[in-house]
């Protein structure tokens, strides 16, 4: 069947092997609901298991990438068919909040970070709270000059409960993450670039083209080695040097004996561009 859109977003396939996920509720600033998160999680799982998908790009419509959870009453009137049913329960009790976060909200960012395929966030506008954490969970971030990034959960007396505090510490370090979260900062694209939260900033009209160009570049690379390296980089961020060495040694035992490695060496000797991913295409 391949990847499908869901409640609150569309999915479009672009060559070579790019899945473009576009949040399509601009009148709600692409605010997330339980239904949207459930379908988005299913779509990420589809991307993981679909060999024709190499890179996933996330972007939004209107003034927002995703301006956080929809706090205006749990808006559910999505026009798209449901991929998976809504789960019962919610945030009525402390334990239901705990369960809801672990099972639904936090699972989306875990799935994005755990996705073997590379991911790009094309941040067209506001990326707040869950929108910020989703963007930070991606491997690359390109922002429009109109983008604004922040958590700002303390403005409502709430916490960055979908892993935003962890992701910000990884990107900024403890001191700057403390300043960013406690002072409820919402930064411009230029400020986000200076902080290291985004990789580059482009004009609004160039955003999608630039994101797709980057995705195309990534899609043409040796996919098996790139996916192994992605996993190893994230492992290295959380373990000791000795453990990181062990991890990369184990992954190298796979990549060194893969057909892409043989093709890469042969192409170098023959002074031509390598034809990677023949095994995947086969």
Q: For residue range 202-237, what is the model confidence (pLDDT) as tens digits? A: 999 999 999 999 999 999 999 999 999 999 999 999
Region 240-246 average pLDDT: 97
Strand order in the sheet with 118-123: 9-14, 18-23, 55-60, 118-123, 140-144, 200-202
The answer to whether 89 and 96 have CB atoms below 8 angstroms apart is: yes
Higher pLDDT, 152 or 48: 48
What's the DSSP call for residue 271?
T
**Tokens linked to 168:** 């910000």
pLDDT at 107 exceeding the cut of 60: yes
- Answer yes or no: pTM beyond 0.85: yes
The answer to whether 14 and 212 have CB atoms below 8 angstroms apart is: yes
> What are the residues facing 23 on neighbouring strands?
9, 60
> What are the residues facing 218 on neighbouring strands?
none
Give the per-residue pLDDT at 98.
87
Residue 20 DSSP SS3: strand
Phi, psi dihedral angles at 3 (to 5 degrees): -70, 145
From first CA to last CA, the distance across the chain in angstroms is 19
Q: How far apart are CA 43 and CA 23, in angstroms?
A: 13
Question: Which of these CATH numbers, 3.90.1150.150, 3.30.420.40, 3.40.640.10, 3.90.226.10, describes 9-220?
Answer: 3.90.226.10
Residue 187 DSSP SS3: strand
Q: Which residues contact 130 (CB under 8 A, 6 or more apart)?
A: 32, 66, 68, 69, 105, 108, 162
Q: How far apart are CA 201 and CA 145, in angstroms?
A: 6
pLDDT at 79 exceeding the cut of 90: no
Give the per-residue pLDDT at 152.
84
Q: Which CATH class is domain 223-281?
A: mainly alpha
Domain ranges in the chain are 9-220, 223-281
Residue of 33, 58, 67 lying closest to 150 (CA atoms):
67
């Amino acid at each position: 069947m391949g990847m499908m859109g869901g409640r609150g977003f569309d999915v479009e396939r672009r060559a070579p092997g790019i899945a473009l996920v576009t949040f399509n509720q601009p009148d709600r600033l692409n605010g997330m609901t339980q239904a949207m998160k459930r379908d988005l999680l299913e779509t990420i799982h589809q991307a993981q298991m679909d060999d024709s998908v190499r890179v996933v790009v996330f972007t939004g419509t209107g003034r927002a990438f995703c301006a956080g959870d929809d706090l205006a009453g749990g808006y559910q009137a999505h026009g798209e068919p449901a991929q998976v049913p809504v789960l019962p329960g919610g945030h009525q009790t402390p334990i239901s909040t705990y369960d809801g976060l672990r099972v639904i909200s936090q699972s989306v960012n875990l799935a994005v970070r755990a996705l073997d395929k590379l991911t790009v966030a094309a941040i067209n506008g506001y990326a707040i709270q869950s929108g910020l954490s989703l963007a930070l969970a991606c491997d690359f971030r390109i922002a429009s000059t109109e983008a604004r990034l922040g958590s700002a959960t303390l403005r409502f007396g709430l916490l960055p409960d979908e892993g935003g505090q962890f992701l910000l510490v990884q990107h900024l370090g403890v001191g700057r993450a403390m300043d960013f979260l406690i002072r409820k900062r919402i930064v411009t694209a230029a400020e986000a670039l200076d902080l290291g939260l985004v990789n580059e900033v482009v004009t609004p009209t160039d955003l999608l083209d630039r994101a797709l160009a980057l995705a195309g570049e990534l899609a043409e690379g040796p996919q098996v080695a790139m996916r192994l390296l992605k996993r190893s980089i994230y492992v290295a961020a959380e373990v000791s040097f000795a453990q990181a060495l062990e991890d990369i040694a184990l992954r190298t035992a796979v990549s060194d004996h893969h057909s892409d490695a043989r093709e890469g060496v042969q192409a170098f000797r023959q002074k031509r561009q390598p034809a990677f991913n023949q095994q995947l295409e086969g």
